[in-house]
Amino acid sequence: MNLADEYGRLCRTPSDINEHLPTFVALVQRLNAKHVIELGTRSGVSTTAWLHGLSKTGGRLTSVDIDEAPDIATHDDWTFLQGDDCDPDITVQLDPADIVFIDTSHTYLQTVAELYLYRWLVKPGGLMVLHDTELAHPQDAPIRPAYPVKTAIEEFIADTGYEWTNHRNNNGLGIIEGF
């Protein structure tokens, strides 16, 4: 199945993220993005959407996951790095990106660390995109704070003066602008 067909199939298949896939493609096209960094791939649902969007702009995707690469077709414009996304051995390999997408453990401390580390890898005019803003208690996250991703974003916004919008559907998608 080619990339466009697989993207269409994933959009139609209910999942914890499928409703946001067209937003990923629209953001890539809006920015004419040439590089996206994706943190957290799992089986490659969001990976496929980013790749599909970037196929329209001639851009490339760099994905990071602590686990092995998702079992999807390889693409010339896709680089997969296995490791902890806050490990300097990983971050030293990353070029600045138009969009940094964060979808990893969803714990408060991890999200804070990712926001403050990866803000420096967002190009001027770029975006950070975070999934699961509307998850009150993500699996394996401490009971407090509730809504750890949203809490981390709100504190980051208060500290930096950036702006964010929140799409509440499908577990929530936060989009931070002002870089």
Q: Which of 41, 55, 62, 91 binds ligand SAM (CB under 6 A)?
A: 41
Q: Is 91 in the site for ligand SAM (CB under 6 A)?
A: no
Binding mask 99-118 for ligand SAM (x = CB under 6 A): ----xxx-------------
- At 32 the three-state DSSP class reads coil
Distance CA 8, CA 10 (A): 5
Q: Does 43 bind ligand SAM (CB under 6 A)?
A: yes
Q: Kindly write out the interface string for residues 147-166 of this chain, putting x where it contacts ligand SAM by CB under 6 A and - elsewhere.
A: --------------------
Any alpha helices (H) in 60-139, and if so which ranges?
88-91, 108-118
CB 105 within 8 A of CB 68: no
**Cα-Cα-Cα-Cα dihedral of 68, 72, 39, 149, to 10°?**
-110
- Return the SS3 of 153: helix
Q: Would you say 39 or 122 has its CB closer to ligand SAM? A: 39
Structure tokens at 46: 């969001």
Half-sphere exposure of 127 (CA within 13 A, CB side): 23
Region of 37-45, 122-130, 147-155, 157-165 interacting with ligand SAM (CB under 6 A):
37-45
Give the one residue of 8, 34, 42, 166 binding ligand SAM; rule: CB under 6 A.
42
Binding residues for ligand SAM (CB under 6 A): 17, 39-43, 45-46, 64-67, 84-85, 103-105
